[in-house]
Amino acid sequence: MKSETNHRDFVKEETLDPGDWTALRKLGNTMLNDMIDLLQTIREQPVWRKPPERVKNHFKKELPQLPMQLEEVYDEFKENILPYYLGNIHPRYWSWVMGTGSAQAMLAEMLAAGLNCNVGIGDQAPMYVDQQVIEWCKQIMHFPRESSGALVSSASIANLNALIVARNSVNDTIRRSGINEQKKMLIYASTEAHSCIQKAAEIIGIGTEGVRKVNVNDKYEMDIVHLQELIAKDKREGNVPFCVVANVGTVNTGAIDPLDKIFWICCKENLWMHVDGAFGALLKQLPEYKKQLGYLEFADSIAFDLHKWMSIPYEAGVVLVQDADVHRKTFALQPDYISNNERGIGAGPELTSNFGFELSRNFKALKVWMSLKEHGIEKFARLIRQNITQSKYLAMLIEQDSLLELMAPVSTNIVCFRFNPRKNHLDLNMLNKEILMRLQESGIAAPSYTRLKGNYCLRVANVNHRTELKDFDVLVNEVIKIGNQVIMEEEAKREPVNTA
């Protein structure tokens, strides 16, 4: 007993809990109010600020060995991080397809972090919330109740999940023996497919050459005739076509592939039909897209994001699979230490890892659950329609101005255009690139960019619930103003210098 007592005397036990809960509460209130103030006044802020060298160098310091006061750490956040965010919370951010988030869902993130649940195992309420959110996602996409799904970080991971299931559906020995003994397995995706499809193919052993690139038409939709030709050629050569990836909202132009035709081709050829609907799948909520998305619910799998057009804070991706048994067989693995018990903590629902790679998962379902409970799916549908209406308004402004040129049909919420004063000596690609960079650096607006048929375009991807029509008036006026300024500067350089 004496040695035990002495041992206790020498052990100094520590915790990460604060020594002063009152001080933490006060600082927490300050943090919360600062973030609410930022979001409430975001329209008054620049869309983006370039981090200065001072800030970049600040993050090159060595690993901290000794503690700092949390108040001092927060001061560093306010000085070096808070002013230099990406900008996608701003009303005039339309760059990459990034959702805006919401103040209310920010609070849900705080609640989830406070609980710090691993929503992968256990008889706990967050597991049932996770299940309910998946059920709601099935209802949004009109998937059957008996289908399966998983919440993941993003549509990139959702696409990867689905393509693994598609690959394994070809032969139930793949999980055990791999694809080494298989003939060349092939995925078909249009030239407008997101790069994550190629990455997924590389990861799952299909390889870059295993992704057949299908041509697109003038609307940037998959060319069905070319698809059929590729499949027929590959079958004649003894290869194994197994999956077609259809786009619902391409990243470049927002185009929607012909789902009905792709579905029937997949039925005829016995291929897995996967839909990459990263942002566009949520168009399923709008009656005006009923015809284009009428076959979405017949896809074997679908990937989409909730952190884009539903403004859920990052990260919140979803994968749904029609055949839950095939989905489960692809990933299920329950060693003794995570097998379900009859009672106790281990008596919870089926492991979420039976439908994906991750066992440790955060409580991302809470922010989705709270957002849908607060707003209802109909409001999100109205906001999606609002963004599309705004994008059509921007297209109208472009078509009405002789200095601007619309570069692709506006089928959803993405508008590609360029400044084109129709002067033969101008390099339009360099001109529009300069316009874009100056526009972003000014902090006035942040569209993105792409190339269509070799032409550099300004690209507006509108999934922003804070955007108003007047913001596009500002955008058009600034593009023209900056474009004319760049031309004046270039022409001044060409004028001969008078040495008289």
In the CATH scheme, what is the code of domain 379-494?
3.90.1150.170
Residue ranges in the chain whose pLDDT is less than 50: none
Give the closest residue to 230 by CA, choosing from 210, 255, 200, 260: 210
Distance CA 399, CA 411 (A): 15
User: What pLDDT sits at residue 76?
Assistant: 96
Tell me: the pLDDT tens digits for 168-227? Answer: 998 888 888 888 766 799 999 999 999 999 999 999 999 999 999 999 999 999 999 999
pTM of the model: 0.92
Which class for 366: exposed (0-12), middle (13-18), buried (19 or more C-beta within 10 A)? Answer: buried
What is residue 29's predicted lDDT score, i.e. its pLDDT? 96
Looking at residue 192, its pLDDT comes to 94
The pLDDT value recorded for residue 491 is 79
Distance CA 311, CA 380 (A): 9
What is the rounded CA–CA span in Å between residue 171 and residue 178? 10
Candidates 269, 274, 219; CA nearest to 245 is 274
> Which amino acid type is present at position 221?
E
For residue 156, count CB atoms less than 10 angstroms from its CB and return exposed for 0-12, middle for 13-18, buried for 19 or more.
Answer: buried
Residue 438: partners with Cβ closer than 8 Å, 6 or more residues away: 482, 486
> How is the chain split into domains, by residue range?
117-375, 379-494
Cβ–Cβ < 8 Å for 331, 175: no
> pLDDT value at position 6?
64
Architecture (CATH level 2) of domain 117-375: 3-Layer(aba) Sandwich (3.40)
